[in-house]
């Protein structure tokens, strides 16, 4: 059984290795690796390596940095298949889905390849007589990323390509449940020519996270994960003066109006609810059927849900793989039990799902629950599994009010043929990412990704323009050269334009 070590200063680093954690293959239920869990001293080593690399890297020309970004882009592109296998074997998602995740991460790398354009400042000639004003942005220093299990390639790639292209150095603390992809990426950075210490990986749990949050040499923290941890990260890291963006959990609603193409809506809802076994922060977990849409929609969805092929992620016939751990399977099945006890109607039941030949895998089948009330646990909890809850309302206004009353505000979608209803929805709904006939509206890399309310703590979304802003700080220079005409006099008055 391989032991997955840290990556510090351009090479594998065993660390103290006092504690380790098992990494499972969710399709077989077998332990396949051990990952070392960092102690504070290991985090100190990683931050020291990143700090030492920051000086030269932040001074490297835009051309030099861009060249390495392009090299890295080529290497990731050449290894999409291998990265997808690593993800599938530790997360469980099917290979095509894992390759899609790598592709969406690659788009952020491509965005970061344009860093010379993105870092252009502003210039005002002759702002006052003989005075010019200009601005530019500088990197922050050592930045850290703490990431969840559900996108072990894409979510870290929302962060470090932009941070590094901006001239920062980076310490990644990936999820301990699927850690291998991070080390593979570190090796690709090395091959791309990134100087040692610019990109580091520490594996671990709360001990490693707390060490990063408290470390005086870490300037900024990017976090993606569940809401309670996001809130904690934001509180603890801002106390020590760090810049923080902490993206939290979600409960994403899709509203289906009676005028929608219901076959189209049912196809996309099935994919959005059960793709990646529902373990996506943008998964649709609540369908809000308005007026007469409910019954015909449910007929279609129940049929499509039962057609989903559940099996190992490596099997090309599988549409949906297992969930990540046995504990996740138990929790999801318990929540379905509770839904039933609280009066909801289970139309498609994924509990106890068994895959022949993989009986010990962590499988839960697609589950559709009707007559869900907003007080039930299946509605209030982020289930993070292949479970679609259906809520019914009479009007669009009631559907919007329901979404706005929910504490989360990550993503949402509306299915309709009415431009008027869609426009009203997009203007009134209090959610960061909105789809119109698009169930999973993940923004392109050149926009920024992020939710509202309990789905984000901090001000800045990730990647896109807000990512560049997050990983840099501005300077404004006001300059006058004494030999310029009329610039010789000085007065004690507050300086004003002339
Ligand atoms: P998690 O919050 O359990 O873990 C995220 C990270 O925090 C991991 O690196 C983990 O090691 C660390 N961590 C866990 N417990 C900690 C603690 N007590 N103290 C300090 N650090 C701790 O999340 P997860 O289960 O890995 O991922 C699923 C969650 O992530 C879901 O809630 C999902 O909605 C959310 N998510 C959100 C987005 C988004 O963009 N908003 C994207 C992906 C996932």
DSSP one-letter string for 359-379: TTS-----EEEES--TTSHHH
* Cα 144 to ligand 1 centroid, rounded to whole Å: 15
226 CA closest ligand 1 atom index: 32
Nearest residue (CA) to ligand 1, atom 9: 175
**Domain 252-436: top CATH class:** alpha beta
Q: How many residues does the chain have?
A: 498
Residue with tokens 């962590």: 362
User: pLDDT by residue for the chain (498 residues), tens digit each?
Assistant: 889 999 999 999 999 989 999 999 999 999 999 999 999 999 999 999 999 999 999 999 999 999 999 999 999 999 999 999 999 999 999 999 999 999 999 999 999 999 999 999 999 999 999 999 999 999 999 999 999 999 999 999 999 999 999 999 999 999 999 999 999 999 999 999 999 999 999 999 999 999 999 999 999 999 999 999 999 999 999 999 999 999 999 999 999 999 999 999 999 999 999 999 999 999 999 999 999 999 999 999 999 999 999 999 999 999 999 999 999 999 999 999 999 999 999 999 999 999 999 999 999 999 999 999 999 999 999 999 999 999 999 999 999 999 999 999 999 999 999 999 999 999 999 999 999 999 999 999 999 999 999 999 999 999 999 999 999 999 999 999 986 555 556 778 887 766
At residue 72, the pLDDT reads 99
Question: How far is Cα 214 from Cα 367, in angstroms, rounded to an integer?
Answer: 42
Kind of pairing between the strands at 387-393 and 408-409: unpaired
* Cα 146 to ligand 1 centroid, rounded to whole Å: 8
- Among 174, 226, 275, name the best residue to mutate to test ligand 1's pocket (greatest count of ligand atoms within 8 A of Cβ): 226
177 CA closest ligand 1 atom index: 26
Residue with tokens 């505000």: 409
176 CA closest ligand 1 atom index: 11
* Cα 65 to ligand 1 centroid, rounded to whole Å: 31
Question: How far is Cα 50 from Cα 57, in angstroms, rounded to an integer?
Answer: 10
Residue with tokens 């004690």: 492
How many CA atoms are closer than 13 Å to the CA of 393, on its beta-carbon side?
A: 18
* Cα 53 to ligand 1 centroid, rounded to whole Å: 28
At residue 1, the pLDDT reads 81
* Cα 486 to ligand 1 centroid, rounded to whole Å: 60
Nearest residue (CA) to ligand 1, atom 19: 206
Phi-psi region of 209 (alpha: psi -120 to 50; beta: other; left: phi over 0): alpha
* Fold observed for domain 2-248+455-477: Aldehyde Dehydrogenase; Chain A, domain 1 (3.40.605)
Nearest residue (CA) to ligand 1, atom 18: 206
At residue 485, the pLDDT reads 54
For residue 453, the cross-strand partners are 408
Question: How far is Cα 52 from Cα 75, in angstroms, rounded to an integer?
Answer: 26
174 CA closest ligand 1 atom index: 9
Residues with CB under 6 A from ligand 1: 146-151, 155, 173, 175-176, 205-206, 209, 224-226, 229, 247-250, 281, 382, 384, 410, 451, 455
Closest CA to 197 of 176, 168, 174: 168
Nearest residue (CA) to ligand 1, atom 38: 281
Question: How far is Cα 138 from Cα 298, in angstroms, rounded to an integer?
Answer: 53
* Cα 254 to ligand 1 centroid, rounded to whole Å: 23
173 CA closest ligand 1 atom index: 9
- Lookup: tokens for 32: 């396949």
* Cα 490 to ligand 1 centroid, rounded to whole Å: 57
Active site residues: 281
Indicate the domain borders of the chain. Answer: 2-248+455-477, 252-436
Residue with tokens 């300037």: 219
Cβ–Cβ under 8 Å, residues 426 and 443: no
Residues whose CB is less than 8 angstroms from the CB of residue 74 and which lie 6 or more positions away in sequence, other chains included: none
Cβ–Cβ under 8 Å, residues 314 and 32: no
Nearest residue (CA) to ligand 1, atom 26: 148
Nearest residue (CA) to ligand 1, atom 10: 175
Question: Same CATH topology for 2-248+455-477 and 252-436?
Answer: no
At residue 498, the pLDDT reads 64
Distance of CA 207 to the CA centre of its chain: 22
């Amino acid at each position: 059984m391989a032991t997955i070590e840290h990556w510090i200063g351009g090479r594998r680093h065993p660390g103290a290795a006092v504690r380790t954690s098992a990494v499972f293959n969710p399709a077989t239920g077998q332990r396949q690796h051990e990952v070392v869990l960092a102690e504070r001293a290991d985090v100190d080593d990683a931050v020291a390596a990143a700090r030492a690399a920051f000086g030269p890297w932040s001074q490297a020309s835009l051309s030099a940095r861009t060249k390495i970004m392009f090299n890295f882009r080529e290497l990731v592109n050449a290894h999409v298949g291998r990265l997808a296998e690593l993800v599938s074997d530790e997360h469980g998602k099917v290979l095509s889905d894992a390759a899609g995740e790598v592709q969406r991460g690659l788009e952020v790398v491509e965005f970061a390849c344009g860093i010379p354009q993105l870092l252009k400042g502003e210039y005002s000639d002759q702002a006052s007589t003989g005075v010019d004003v200009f601005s530019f942005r500088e990197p922050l220093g050592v930045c850290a990323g703490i990431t969840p299990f559900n996108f072990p390639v894409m979510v870290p790639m929302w962060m470090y390509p932009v941070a590094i292209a901006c001239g920062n150095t980076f310490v990644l603390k990936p999820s301990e449940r699927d850690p291998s992809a991070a080390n593979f990426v570190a090796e690709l950075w090395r091959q791309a020519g990134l100087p040692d210490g610019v990109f580091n990986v520490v594996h671990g749990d709360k001990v490693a996270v707390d060490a990063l949050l408290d470390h005086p040499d870490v300037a900024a923290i990017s976090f993606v994960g569940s809401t309670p941890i996001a809130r904690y990260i934001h509180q603890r890291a801002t106390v020590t003066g760090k810049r923080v963006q902490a993206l939290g959990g979600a409960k994403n609603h899709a509203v289906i109006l009676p005028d929608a193409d219901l076959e189209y809506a049912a196809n996309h809802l099935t994919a959005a609810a059960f793709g990646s076994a529902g373990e996506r922060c943008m998964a649709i977990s609540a369908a809000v059927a308005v007026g007469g849409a409910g019954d015909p929609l449910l007929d279609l969805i129940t049929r499509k849900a039962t057609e989903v092929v559940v099996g190992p992620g490596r099997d090309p016939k599988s549409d949906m793989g297992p969930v990540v751990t046995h504990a996740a399977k138990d929790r999801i099945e318990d929540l379905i039990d509770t839904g039933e006890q609280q009066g909801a109607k289970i139309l498609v039941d994924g509990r106890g799902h068994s895959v022949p030949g993989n009986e010990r895998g962590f499988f839960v089948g697609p589950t559709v629950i009707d007559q869900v009330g907003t007080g039930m646990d299946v509605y209030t909890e982020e289930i993070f599994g292949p479970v679609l809850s259906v809520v019914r309302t009479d009007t669009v206004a009631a559907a919007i009010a329901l979404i706005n009353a929910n504490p989360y505000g990550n993503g949402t979608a509306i299915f309709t043929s009415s431009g008027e209803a869609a426009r009203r929805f997009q203007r009134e709904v209090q959610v960061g990412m909105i789809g119109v006939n698009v169930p999973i509206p993940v923004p392109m890399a050149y926009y920024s990704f992020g939710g509202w309310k309990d789905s984000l703590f901090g001000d800045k979304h990730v990647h896109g323009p807000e990512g560049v802003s997050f990983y840099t700080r501005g300077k404004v220079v006001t300059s006058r050269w004494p030999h310029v005409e009329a610039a010789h006099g000085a007065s004690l008055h507050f300086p004003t334009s002339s």
